[in-house]
Amino acid sequence: MHHTKDIKVGIGFATGRKSFQKALRTNIHNWKESGLVDNDQISLNLFVAYDLKYNKTKITDYTNVPAELADQLDSSTFIGSTSIKDEISYLTQENVIDSIEAGKIFGNGYAAKRNALLYFAIKNKIDYLVFMDDDEYPMAVTNKHKTALWGGQDILSNHIKYIDQADITHGHHCGYISPVPFVEFNDSLKEDDFRNFIEAISNEIINWDTLKSVMDNGGVTYADIDILTSNSAVEVEEVNHAKFISGANLCINLKNVQRVFPFYNPPGARGEDTFLSTCLSERKVLRVPCYAFHDGFSTYRDLLEGLLPIRLKFIKADNEQVTTRFYKACIGWIRYKPLLLYITQPDNYEAKIKKMREQLYESLPKICNYFNKPDFFNIAVEMEKYHKNVEKHYGEFVETQRIWAKIMEHFAER
């Protein structure tokens, strides 16, 4: 007799990299070693929303999962443009939403990929969906006596353990989670200048105090041993109308779909996890004691082959790749900061924008000179553009939730 497993867990990847297959292989081996694959009570279901344009990949870069790995999963669902079109046709034919509304949920951008993962998991009656990134690995690194010490992390089991008690669980991150490189201050760029710049573009998570300690470690965030050895989750407190979460090492409880919010980010920006954070006042959010190693510069893929370095490199702003990544991150942050302020601090919004404008005016010439990249002046241009459109973006943010609620009501009635 066929046994129906009690808990259906979805694992979602929004990806556009060829390295996805290596990350998936490592994670499946991790789930096998932790006992989840052979657990008769737990069903493991893979969901992959792929982007062929991001790195000029092809469908088989994602779908050709080796049989010996695929056999350890209960199901695999690959979500591309054709799958999305089919679902939009279904939703419009059923008069759930119209095609314009569908574009706001499943359009372009990272939030849309995450919404697709949520949608397909809910359609397949998944209980819990865990988001993972293809540049994050199930391991943690600490630094003792100038040596990197490594340990495996059972990410999936941690979320399964706690998610039944919460609406959302999210874990910790170590490694290269910040795109800010190590900066050697001098007469042309003093520490106060750089702090001024960071304060202008940052938020409650990405702030000067946090980044300064990371910079002093050469761009590396090390795992906290107290968290690694903890057996308890901690409830996330609300700060400025937000319960801040991470975009990966993140689990969403789908048992009551009408408690699930969609992702949103302004066009061309990121921050989809941050904007979800602002919706969670009436939701229980737990921080669980597990880490993922973030390979933000894609320089430690050998970790997936079993190589454990004894020390991690300083990331210095001495090459074009590092500078460009930092620049792109700054553009991404500044594009979503006006809307974040508009949502979380509406009474102080204009004053905050004025302060940002002043800080950028003072610091950007020095930033451009230090990094030898005049493109950094675009940050001020982008700030004004997204400030000008903040009410429009806020309307889209609210509209996305309204449309999503109609889709969730449809599934709830089924």
- Which domains occur in the chain, in start order? 7-179+205-314+403-413 (3.90.550)
- Going by pLDDT thresholds of 50, 70 and 90, the confidence category of residue 1 is very low
Distance between CA atoms of 193 and 366, rounded to whole angstroms? 8
Return the residue matching tokens 């049989």. 67
Q: What is the mean pLDDT of residues 272-301?
A: 93
Query: Angle at which helices 320-344 and 378-388 pack, to 10 degrees?
Result: 20
Angle between the 20-33 and 155-163 helix axes, to the nearest 10 degrees? 70
Q: How confident is the model at residue 382 (pLDDT cuts 50, 70, 90)?
A: very high
Are residues 324 and 317 in contact, defined by beta-carbon separation less than 8 angstroms? no
Question: pLDDT tens-digit profile of 92-101?
Answer: 999 999 999 9
pLDDT at 204: 66
Question: Whole-angstrom Cα distance, residue 401 to residue 342?
Answer: 17
pLDDT in tens, 12-23: 999 988 889 999
- What is the arithmetic mean of pLDDT over 210-216? 82
In this predicted model, what pLDDT tens digit does every residue of 21-60 receive, in sequence order? 999 999 999 999 999 999 999 999 999 999 988 878 899 9
DSSP per-residue codes, 206-269: S-HHHHHHHHHTTTPBPPPHHHHT----EEPPPBTTB----SSSEEEE-SSGGGPPPP---TT-
Residue 108 is predicted with a pLDDT of: 84
Residues above pLDDT 90, as percent of the chain? 79
Is 203 a residue whose pLDDT tops 80?
Answer: no
Would you state the pLDDT for residue 53? 84
| 318 Cβ contact partners less than 8 Å away, ≥ 6 residues apart | none
Task: Specify the 3-state DSSP secondary structure of 293.
Answer: strand
Directed axis angle between helix 191-201 and helix 349-371, to 10°?
Answer: 130
